[in-house]
Amino acid sequence: MTNQKNERALLLGIDFGTARTAVMSSRRHKGLLQTVVGYPRDVIGVKLLNRTLVVGDEAIEKRSFLDLYHPVADGLLKEANDKDWDAAREILQQAIALSEPRAGERICGIIGVPARATATNRRQLLQLTEGLLDLCLVVSEPFMVAYGLSRLLNTMIVDVGAGTIDLCAMKGSVPAADSQLSILKGGNYIDRLLETAIRDAYAGVQIDRYLARQLKEQHAFVGAPTEAVLVHLRVHGKPMALDVTEAMRMTCETIVPDIVEAIKSLLLSFAPECQAEALANIVLAGGGSRIRGLGALLEQHLREYGDVHVTMVADPEYGGAYGALKLAMELPTDYWSQIGEVIGD
């Protein structure tokens, strides 16, 4: 279902995540950037950058002389200070620019929020878009994933993000509050535990949250290891090969009990005759879905409930943005307010 008003506008699907922001447009542009802004600490930094701020990967690469601002925490906008707000707008502005909008063009976007984001959280995000989007709708992130997959009935989405793990029970309609759950753990939680575990195992090792995240993204797994995880880090300044197999497994598995309990809770929200089908249609999404063995371990923990089948989205980075764009393209903008909160016209 589309209309001419949609076709004349640039439509965007945006996943404004804690770690990364993904955007897809109705003109087939797509882009990904890290949700971080770096500001030079002094005039030397300004000279090195030749500008007053930098966004995304470059900010992390040059963090030695920058103050980094991560404006999204636990999937929600921070309220600490004006700098966080400015950083959030800068990231959103750059994400929109990746879609190459034309001068004077009407820009309409759908943005994802954590499954149980409060009304206040949603309003803050909508306010952030003023002057950047002509019309904005915020919807649940796992609902975006489900819509993109056309998995709208008797399906459970488990979106493992950096700030939160969001779950949604799809029952053939826009999910109500009691069909959604958010767990305040995710990739960043694993990063912190992994950094600590490696420090505890190797005295003098030089590691920070960014290196820990890099190691996790390369080697994350749960369950029995198939091979040793050997990484190269510096210890007291000297390069060394370190075995972090047990630290990786232990820290990645910390999120499993929470996910299992959340799935059990959401399962009870389905009608009894639908529960077997829902268990056979559990979908992992988000960056954390790449943790090797996660689906199999969840199936193992849920075995007593019947035949459980867990699959993973084909493109974890863009799964949410794609679903948001698909919704934007199929639903006339006049109907957006029936799905969630809207700002603009």
- Global pTM reads 0.92
Burial class (CB in 10 A: 0-12, 13-18, 19+), 279: buried
- pLDDT tens for the chain, 345 residues: list them: 444 556 679 999 999 999 999 999 999 999 999 999 999 999 999 999 999 999 999 999 999 999 999 999 887 888 767 889 999 999 999 999 999 999 989 999 999 888 878 888 888 899 999 999 999 999 999 999 999 999 999 999 999 999 999 999 999 998 988 999 999 999 999 999 999 999 999 999 999 999 999 999 999 999 999 999 999 999 999 999 999 999 999 999 999 999 999 999 999 999 999 999 999 999 999 999 999 999 999 999 999 999 999 999 999 999 999 999 999 999 999 999 988 889 987
Give the pLDDT confidence score for residue 1 in this predicted structure.
47
Residue with tokens 């056309």: 150
Distance CA 297, CA 57 (A): 32
Predicted pLDDT of residue 6? 61
DSSP tag of 268? T
Report how far residue 320's alpha carbon sits from residue 342's, in angstroms, rounded to the nearest whole number.
18
The most distant pair of C-alpha atoms in the chain lies apart, rounded to whole Å, by 66
Express each pLDDT in 100-156 by its tens digit: 999 989 999 999 888 878 888 888 899 999 999 999 999 999 999 999 999 999 999
Please tell me the predicted confidence (pLDDT) of residue 80: 63
Inter-axis angle of helices 256-267 and 294-301, to 10 degrees?
50
Q: Are 328 and 14 in contact (CB under 8 A)?
A: no
d(CA 219, CA 295): 16
Beta strand 20-25 pairing with 10-16: antiparallel
Burial, 73: exposed, middle or buried (Cβ in 10 Å; 0-12, 13-18, 19+)? middle
Q: How many CB atoms lie within 10 A of CB 119?
A: 8
